[in-house]
């Protein structure tokens, strides 16, 4: 009992909290000089953390180990996956919620979270230029959000009966989507039981955008094969290249064929806030549903995702269960404050506190400043690549995702040679830990891929990264020539 009293003791927490905040502040201060990705062998790291469990470290020692070993997204040399460095205030919001343990299943359990969640959805619906009828909620990540939206599309467009109660029966539903779309769309379709035939990939053009002129033909072909198209999905943007589909053309096709129009804006929807790039999202306001990750371009910790419905009532289409111990009243009213009626989660993290804290303390303009900054960094990187020997862009970036590769002009390289060379360059860079970038494969070609998420990254960091890539590439080419 004494150990439990110590565990919950406010004064012990005060001391631990002050120490931890100091550690985190020191961590942020050192981020500008820290390696982006301290590498560890999985088995070595596993053994190390087994030792930690056996060693009874102090909290300060434990958190210091954790910070040291983790991927450093606050390093200006972090240019890897689509995960932004969270604004420190959002970490404080998580600390507060960690004590409150707020849930937003029903209003009486999480009243503040329910209210904040509604206001966050309302505010961002306005910022994104969506209809004033828009409603929605927040959920844990884009994969779950896309599935939730497609379940709503299924309920809205099911040709006969109630699919929630009656099942698919003899209907073979399908959705249409850019072949370059995120894999979670394929996953959602298969979770719903529609199988491989349930997702129809529309070919992409040379810039990896959906070839919208092929939509009509694809729909007719699907129908002749006994499929029932229910929805069409626009990508804003595609994951690998950051390319934006022509949402207006996709919306026109949805109207013409009576389909649900969904936009996967997990990464790119915030680009609507950038005055120089907002045209890339023309047509967004026509979407029946939209998702947006606040942990990709909105400075929040993972996972924080908004699901928006142009007709707010559509947010209630997905689930129909009654839980008498929890939602014991029978009502047809849209009780927005009881989130359990609309989301997969029952005990749902109060993620709205993260976004709301930024809005309340810094205002909406901080989001615009961030989006413009990281998009500008990507444009600067692309410009530098275009003027640096032995590098080439896959395409000009639409947002903060840049795909490029090292291509030496002094020697002849086959396609396979270039693929192997760029994969080796990336592996070497990551092994050396100072920089963190990733790679992708575009039509069989390996490209290096940077996502600029840190607004404190400077041109000097971009130059140093390219210089390191160039030196590594030259060394690998020289080694290859020596061995031939």
SS3 136: strand
Give the closest residue to 268 by CA, choosing from 374, 144, 393, 118. 374
Name the fold adopted by 366-483. Answer: 3.90.1150
Residue 331 has pLDDT above 70, yes or no: no
Residue tagged 């939509």 (tokens) = 215
The pLDDT assigned to 324 comes to 44
Rounded Cα distance, 75 and 35, in Å: 7
Round the average pLDDT of the chain to a whole number and report it. 93
Please list the residues that pair with 436 across neighbouring strands: 78
Q: Tens of pLDDT along 93-141? A: 999 999 999 877 788 888 999 999 999 999 999 999 999 999 999 999 9
- Mean of pLDDT values over 14-32: 96
- Give the confidence band of 23 by pLDDT, cuts at 50, 70, 90: very high
- Give the confidence band of 317 by pLDDT, cuts at 50, 70, 90: confident
Query: Among 153-167, 171-185, 292-306, 452-466, which stretch is predicted with the lowest mean pLDDT?
Result: 153-167
SS3 201: strand
Rounded Cα distance, 254 and 52, in Å: 55
Label residues 378-417 b or e (16+ Cβ within 10 Å = b): bbbbbebbeebebbebbbebbbbbbbbbbebeeeebeeee
- Please say whether the beta carbons of 418 and 392 come within 8 A: no
Query: Among 163-167, 177-181, 257-261, which stretch is predicted with the lowest mean pLDDT?
Result: 163-167
The structural domains of the chain, with segments of one domain joined by +, span: 2-33+38-71, 102-363, 366-483
- Mean of pLDDT values over 333-361: 86
Rounded Cα distance, 246 and 248, in Å: 6
Rounded Cα distance, 126 and 312, in Å: 14
The token pair at 440 is: 């992708």
Q: Tens of pLDDT along 203-214? A: 999 999 999 999
Rounded Cα distance, 144 and 291, in Å: 10
Residues 6+ apart with CB under 8 A from 206: 395
The token pair at 481 is: 């020539």
Rounded Cα distance, 56 and 256, in Å: 65
Q: Tens of pLDDT along 239-279? A: 999 999 999 999 999 999 999 999 999 999 999 999 999 99
Please list the residues that pair with 231 across neighbouring strands: 175, 260
Q: Tens of pLDDT along 408-459? A: 987 678 999 999 999 999 999 999 999 999 999 999 999 999 999 999 999 9
Residue 333 has pLDDT above 80, yes or no: no
Residue 332 has pLDDT above 70, yes or no: no
The pLDDT assigned to 328 comes to 45
Residue 158 has pLDDT above 90, yes or no: yes
The token pair at 128 is: 């994104």
Tally of CB atoms within 10 A around 429 = 20
Residue 373 has pLDDT above 80, yes or no: yes
Residue 327 has pLDDT above 80, yes or no: no
The token pair at 457 is: 């990254």
- Mean of pLDDT values over 272-294: 98
Rounded Cα distance, 18 and 376, in Å: 37
Rounded Cα distance, 131 and 314, in Å: 14
Q: Tens of pLDDT along 383-396? A: 999 999 999 999 99
The pLDDT assigned to 320 comes to 54
The pLDDT assigned to 169 comes to 82
Alpha helices in 31-87 (DSSP H): 42-55, 59-69
Residue 322 has pLDDT above 60, yes or no: no
Rounded Cα distance, 473 and 471, in Å: 5
Of all residues in the chain, the percent with pLDDT exceeding 70 is 96
Q: Tens of pLDDT along 26-78? A: 999 999 888 999 988 899 999 999 999 988 889 999 999 999 999 999 999 99
Q: Which CATH number fits domain 102-363: 3.50.50.60, 3.40.50.150, 3.40.640.10, 1.50.10.10?
A: 3.40.640.10
Report strand pairing: 228-235 vs 401-406.
Answer: unpaired
- Give the confidence band of 334 by pLDDT, cuts at 50, 70, 90: low
Residue 346 has pLDDT above 90, yes or no: no
- Please say whether the beta carbons of 122 and 283 come within 8 A: no
Residue 326 has pLDDT above 90, yes or no: no
Please list the residues that pair with 451 across neighbouring strands: 401
Rounded Cα distance, 75 and 95, in Å: 22
């Amino acid at each position: 009992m004494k150990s439990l009293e110590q565990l919950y003791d406010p004064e012990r927490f005060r001391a631990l909290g002050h120490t931890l905040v100091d550690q985190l502040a020191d961590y942020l201060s050192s981020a500008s000089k820290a390696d982006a990705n301290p590498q560890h062998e999985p088995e070595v790291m596993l053994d190390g953390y087994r030792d930690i469990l056996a060693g009874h470290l102090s909290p300060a020692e434990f958190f210091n180990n954790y910070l040291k070993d983790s991927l450093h997204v606050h390093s200006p040399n972090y240019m890897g996956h689509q995960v932004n460095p969270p604004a420190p205030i959002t970490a404080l919001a998580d600390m507060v919620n960690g004590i409150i343990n707020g849930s937003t299943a029903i209003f009486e359990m999480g009243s503040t979270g329910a209210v904040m969640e509604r206001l966050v959805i309302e505010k961002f619906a306005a910022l994104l230029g969506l209809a004033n009828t828009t409603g929605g909620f927040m959920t844990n990540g884009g994969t779950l959000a896309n599935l939730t939206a497609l379940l709503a599309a299924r309920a809205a467009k099911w040709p006969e009966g109630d699919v929630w109660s009656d099942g698919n029966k003899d209907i073979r539903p399908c959705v249409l989507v850019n072949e370059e779309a995120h894999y979670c769309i394929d996953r959602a379709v298969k979770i719903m039981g529609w199988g491989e035939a349930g997702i129809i990939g529309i070919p992409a053009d040379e810039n990896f955008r959906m070839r919208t002129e092929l939509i009509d033909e694809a729909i007719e072909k699907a129908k002749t094969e006994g499929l029932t198209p229910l929805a069409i999905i626009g990508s804003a943007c595609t994951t690998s290249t950051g390319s934006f589909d022509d949402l207006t053309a996709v919306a026109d096709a949805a109207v013409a064929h009576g389909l649900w129009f969904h936009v996967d804006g997990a990464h790119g929807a915030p680009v609507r806030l950038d005055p120089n790039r907002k045209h890339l999202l023309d047509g967004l306001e026509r979407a029946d549903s939209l998702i947006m990750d606040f942990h990709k371009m909105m400075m929040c910790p993972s996972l924080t995702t908004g699901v928006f419905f142009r007709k707010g009532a559509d947010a209630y289409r997905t689930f129909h269960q009654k839980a008498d111990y929890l939602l014991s009243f029978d009502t047809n009213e849209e009780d927005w404050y009881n989130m359990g009626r609309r989301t997969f989660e029952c005990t749902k993290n109060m993620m709205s506190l993260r976004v709301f804290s930024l809005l309340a303390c810094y205002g909406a303009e901080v989001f615009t400043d961030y989006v413009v900054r990281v998009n500008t960094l990507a444009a600067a990187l692309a410009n530098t690549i275009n003027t640096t020997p032995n590098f080439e862009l896959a395409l000009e970036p639409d947002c903060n995702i840049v795909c490029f590769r090292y291509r030496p002009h002094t020697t002849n390289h086959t396609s396979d040679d270039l693929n192997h060379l760029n994969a080796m360059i990336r592996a070497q860079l990551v092994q050396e830990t100072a920089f963190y970038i990733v790679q992708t494969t575009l039509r069989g070609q390996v490209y290096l891929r940077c996502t600029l998420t840190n607004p404190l990254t400077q041109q000097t960091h971009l130059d140093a990264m390219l210089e390191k890539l160039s030196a590594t590439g030259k060394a690998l080419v020289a080694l290859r020539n020596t061995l031939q």
